[in-house]
Structure 1
Amino acid sequence: MDGRTLRHQHRKPELLAAVTEYVLDHGIGDVSLRPIALTLGITHATLLRHFSSKEELLLQVVGKIHSDFLVRLEHDEDLRAAKSTPEFLRTVWRRLCEPEEQRQFVLLFELVGRAAREPERTGNLVQSIVSDWLIPIEERLTRDGRSPGEVSVLATMVLAQIRGLQLDLLVTGDRARVDKAFDFTVELASRPSIR
């Protein structure tokens, strides 16, 4: 790192928060560092000092979205009070259906499309958009006494359902039908054993 980057390192969290909001609002379709910098009122060089490339920036944006969500999980009174995995999952689902939270799914679907088309450029990104999001579900299932084999399978199923049903909800707006489908997923995940 050069001296200037070190001097301005304290700005990185602030810049990352602003860039994250920009990406959530505008997507990644034709995004480049110059328009982001212009919108944020900084120079392109400033962004490059903090994010070496567009791919690095996107990786950090995805990481920030994930870490912000974990902080919200930790401080959400309803989630902390959830006494079972079904109660926890239903509360998470309600939170994820809020318009502010749904922006992350629009971005996720863009990133998945990009990863499918350019897997060589998105390896770390794919890892973070899958594995990192399984962890809170796995932790809750483990706390409820599920075996390690069940935890992995159930967490994968629940995460896939959350994402698939969010896609359906974003496209159709049919909240009642999608909520019923999610409730059914929760019921399946709550069965004593998946053998």
Structure 2
Amino acid sequence: MIMDKRALFHEDGSFAAPRTVKRIESVPESNRDWYLPEAGKTDGRHILNHQIWKEVREPYEREVERLEKAMADLKAKHETDVERERQARKREKIDSALHSTCKDAGIPDGLMEGAIALLSEEATFEVDESYEFGGGVVVATRNGTRSTVEALVENFLDSDEGAAFRGKRRAAPSDNYFSSMIAGMKQPR
């Protein structure tokens, strides 16, 4: 809120004591003695007595300027805090998506941090808030190609660089395994 220095009255209805007034009749009777006819003006303009200016108006203007600056500082701080919080939530979503995807892909817990660090170096991440369901989807961009985090982790694990991070894979069941399973199912119960 910027103060109108020419206003006769404040928002609360109190007299604002502007520096000059065009007509002395517009000033409440109790404050008319604060004004003197402005020298060299024949249009009836009056100017606030210098001593009244120092006692009444100047402290008010300084307080208004202080409050306006404080409001501007608070607004700037609020915007900074909101942006910091937004970035923290974004980073948290990205970290959570990377961690859960790496865990689901079978990367061992001891190697998880290293895999996430490598993936973070190779790709950039953003949270696409346009999706209504789930509050945003994490999208990865690697070598100019956008993909899901799942596809990024899968491609990483299939690469030579990601081979060291693959979890212990189970061997494909042998023919004997299937034969014993079928035999077990044929047994009477």
Range class of TM-score, shorter chain: under 0.3
Superposition TM-score, scaled by structure 2 size: 0.24
Greater relative contact order, per chain length (Cα 8 Å cut-off, separation 6+):
1
Identify the structure with the greater strand proportion.
2
**Rg (Cα) greater in structure:** 2
Superposition TM-score, scaled by structure 1 size: 0.23
